[in-house]
Amino acid sequence: MPKHGKQYRQAAEAIDRNKLYELQEAVELLLKNSCAKFDESIEIAARLGVDPRHADQMVRSSVILPHGIGKEVRVLVFAKGEKEAEALAAGADYAGSDEIVKKIQEGWLDFDKTIATPDMMGEVGKIGRILGPRNLMPNAKLGTVTFDVARVVAETKKGKVDFKADKAGVVHALVGKRSFSADKLSENIVSLIDKLIQLKPSTSKGIYLRAISLASTMGPGVKVDPIHVRSLIKS
């Protein structure tokens, strides 16, 4: 089992593993104890009271964070003609049809998000085995299969985050960077949790928002009080 370095151990010692922190305190503690020499990503893990094995309890959607995610997102749009031009005008990094599909088949993957017009999904399906395992496949449920490409490109560039509950009912998502202020990170987190609460399946019984934890790329996790976060949303 690998051993953590001195800085990590010092950061971990400053965090009470048995305590549920209020959101602002948790974020400030996380930022204070971040020890990497680069601008770490800040991630959230929210455990929900759902069983994703049942289709009616799957939680999957997207949310536009008010302060973005702190990184440049390279957007590829599968589209033809006017929609291709519309996508590029809206800020897409790449757009095209058959030639883009062929390029991906040859190994090109220099993009982070994909969007497709419905008429292109037949062609995109040919590279589903390449895009799917990398979570790069356009998906109608996430709003990335659409003719309204300009709007979706703009939203994606602003910091739209896709999320999906894993087999254990845990949602993992990026909520910003270490260089963000505590206030901005807190607002991003509240926006994400608010969206999760809105998506609560009617068949989910008992406590829905069961646990929240935050962590930087190289740092220890901090547990957040779910009840306190809910109170922030209500206020």
Model confidence over 160-190: pLDDT tens digits?
A: 999 999 999 999 999 999 999 999 999 999 9
In the predicted model, what is the mean pLDDT of residues 84-100?
A: 97
Q: Please, what are the domains in the chain?
A: 6-59+165-234 (3.30.190.20), 75-158 (3.40.50.790)
pTM of the model: 0.84
pLDDT-derived band at 1 (thresholds 50, 70, 90) equals: very low
Three-state secondary structure call for residue 138: coil
